[in-house]
Amino acid sequence: MKAGDQIETTRSGWKFSGEVAKNFDEHVSKSVPFYSESHQIICGISEFFVRDGCTYIDLGCSTGRLIEEIGRRHEAKKGITAYGYDVEEDMLTQATQRLLREKNMEIELRSSAFLEMDPINAAFITCVYTLQFVRPFERQMYVDKIYKQLEWGGGFVLFEKVRGPDARFQDIYNTMYSEFKLSQGYSEKEVIGKMLSLKGVLEPFSTSGNIGLLERAGFRDIVPVFQYLCFQGLLAIK
């Protein structure tokens, strides 16, 4: 079945490899409302945490676009190390090609699972529309790990698609999001095809569910920094 942007997929078979990796930047910019603006918000927030000699981690770095933008935002700073994690080798191939020209910070891309990584004392960690693809029973372990990897006073930015707090709000989210995708030029068949491909693959939590993950990990200072329909960004400070 077709999901738009030259992407072929199957029922419950959405993957971020192959043609998805090659066409990811175009597809995500059309599929996720205010995706570029979300990156601008994150880059702005990073200025409160990223400094000379610090470490930045991007979980689910995909094609490396956010790492590149963070690097440009902090080109005047020295000694920054960035780690990008993604489980898809095809995504890391795209990220490697994109970040070859990045000279002002040291970048290491890793395909190993984040839960297996060595301890890193990070000033800033981002996880943008990634945790929703982690199996629900593993998410608390991921957020616990993120909390431990942050230095005191460090910032964690989490952007996720969220479920409505009840059936009526969820119906509003679903309808308006479908209308958004149609407005981006996707056909009804492509919208349905993408939805079917994500069954059992994309499992969003509600806002309260995501905040619960953060609080159980140890975060106490949490604030929303973005929301458009079912797409939300949170900033948590350790």
pLDDT digit string, tens, across residues 154-207: 999 999 999 999 999 999 999 999 999 999 898 888 888 788 878 888 899 999
pLDDT for res 186: 87
158: helix, coil or strand? strand
Residue type, 123: A
Predicted TM-score (pTM) of the model is: 0.94
- The 10 Å Cβ neighbour count of residue 225 is 16
pLDDT at 6 over 70: no
pLDDT digits (tens, 9 = 90+) for 28-67: 888 999 999 999 999 999 999 999 999 999 999 999 999 9
Query: What tokens were used for 77?
Result: 């700073």
Asked if 59 and 85 touch (Cβ cutoff 8 Å), the reply is yes
* Sequence-separated (6 or more) residues with CB below 8 Å from residue 28: 35, 62, 129
Pick from 82, 66, 72: nearest CA to 123: 82
pLDDT for res 143: 97
pLDDT band at residue 12 using 50, 70 and 90 as cut-offs: low
Residue that has been written with the tokens 């797409």 in this structure:
231
pLDDT for res 116: 75
pLDDT at 121 over 60: yes
- The 10 Å Cβ neighbour count of residue 84 is 26
Judged on CB neighbours under 10 Å (0-12, 13-18, 19+), 191 is buried
pLDDT for res 196: 80
The CATH fold of domain 32-163+204-237: Rossmann fold (3.40.50)
